[in-house]
Amino acid sequence: MKSPRKNFQQFKMVTAPPGWRARIGIIIPSSEQGIAIREYEMIFPEGVVPIVTRMMLKETTVDALTKMEKDAEYAAELIATSNPSCISYSCTAGAFVKGVDFDRNIIKKMEKITNVPSTTMAHASIQALEEIGAKRILLVCPYNKEIVTAELSYLQNLGIDVVHHKGLGLSNTNKIYETTPLETYEFAIDAFKEIPDSDIDAIFVSCGGLRVVEIIEHIESVTGLPCITSNQANAWHCLKLAQVYDPIYGFGKLLEKERK
């Protein structure tokens, strides 16, 4: 039997690290069960990798989301050691409940700590809606009434008219993560059908804990409208900050556009 060492030179030597194009720093809630990470890995092109760390979150309530902020700065310090290309505070609801000023302040703090461009999932979602020219939207989310109210206020303060909204009323994070793509798809389509004359520009499926990337194109096909989701928008904005500009197909109209 020949020694494998004799054939070693036949292998193509790959010297570039996995994130040779970009390392995207993602700060997520501790309770996240791999859904967001999987979605980023599905979306990111070759040479782009998510670098992930966590903040404590046991339930999706206003109080718990507010306390989670305490971990954000330390999480940014941790992730800065991986030499990221950019960084994102990746919890839509966490930014919504604290408001626009919090969003802007946490971005500034993360940029100061990491010395790289930073964003939040909420800010990325707004940027994505602006990119596709959406002013009037349908909001679909899994949150309870208190968080939905905070999200509506956040969106409306930034000039987004939520024509119709529908929430699943969930506070238990495990229930959110267990929601299947089919359930989210049916919920979104049912909400879309409730709008008179479908007078909206886009559908926003909010929450990084929902599995949505598999159904974005199906929602767009049935409704004829762009569908923005939290992880998709966050991935899009992080790629833009990391200067990865090539179009990505299979995850909605937003990512098919060049990001220059």
Give a yes or no: residue 164 inside a domain: yes
CATH code (residue 26): 3.40.50.12500
Give a yes or no: residue 83 inside a domain: yes
Q: What pLDDT is stored for residue 243 in this prediction?
A: 95
> What's the mean pLDDT in 171-191?
91
Question: What does the alpha-carbon distance between residue 187 and residue 180 come to, in Å, rounded to a whole number?
Answer: 11
In this structure, the answer to whether residues 104 and 59 fall within a common structural domain is yes
CATH code (residue 223): 3.40.50.1860
Q: What pLDDT is stored for residue 14 in this prediction?
A: 58
pLDDT band at 66 (very low <50, low <70, confident <90, very high): confident
Question: What does the alpha-carbon distance between residue 148 and residue 170 come to, in Å, rounded to a whole number?
Answer: 10
More confident residue, 197 or 226: 226
Helix H, strand E, coil C: the string for 102-166 is HHHHHHHHHHHHHCCCEEEHHHHHHHHHHHCCCCEEEEEEEECHHHHHHHHHHHHHCCCEEEEEE
In this structure, the answer to whether residues 107 and 138 fall within a common structural domain is no
Q: Is the pLDDT of residue 5 over 70?
A: no
In this structure, the answer to whether residues 152 and 185 fall within a common structural domain is yes
CA atoms within 13 A on the CB side of 181: 12
Beta bridge partner(s), residue 26: 52, 88
pLDDT band at 100 (very low <50, low <70, confident <90, very high): confident
Give a yes or no: residue 7 inside a domain: no
Alpha carbon distances (Å) from 192 to 172, 195, 216:
25, 6, 14
In this structure, the answer to whether residues 222 and 156 fall within a common structural domain is yes
- Domains identified in the chain, total number: 2
Give a yes or no: residue 4 inside a domain: no
Beta bridge partner(s), residue 229: 205
Residues constituting the chain: 260
Question: What does the alpha-carbon distance between residue 27 and residue 15 come to, in Å, rounded to a whole number?
Answer: 28
- Grouping H, G, I as helix, E, B as strand and the rest as coil, residue 155 is helix
Dihedral sign computed on CA atoms, order 25, 31, 36, 38: positive
Convert the pLDDT of each residue in 238-256 to its tens digit: 999 999 998 999 999 999 9
Q: In the structure encoding, which two tokens stand for residue 189, read together?
A: 């389509």
Lowest mean pLDDT among 46-50, 100-104, 120-124, 128-132: 100-104
Give a yes or no: residue 163 inside a domain: yes
> Any idea what DSSP says for residue 197?
G
Convert the pLDDT of each residue in 14-51 to its tens digit: 577 889 999 999 998 877 888 899 999 999 999 999 99
Alpha carbon distances (Å) from 157 to 39, 68, 99, 101, 126:
29, 23, 9, 11, 11
pLDDT band at 6 (very low <50, low <70, confident <90, very high): low
Give a yes or no: residue 10 inside a domain: no
Q: In the structure encoding, which two tokens stand for residue 19, read together?
A: 């994130």
Q: What pLDDT is stored for residue 211 in this prediction?
A: 92
In this structure, the answer to whether residues 204 and 238 fall within a common structural domain is no
Give a yes or no: residue 6 inside a domain: no
Question: What does the alpha-carbon distance between residue 133 and residue 46 come to, in Å, rounded to a whole number?
Answer: 29
Domain span at 42: 22-121+233-249
> What's the mean pLDDT in 73-101?
87
Question: What does the alpha-carbon distance between residue 110 and residue 120 come to, in Å, rounded to a whole number?
Answer: 10
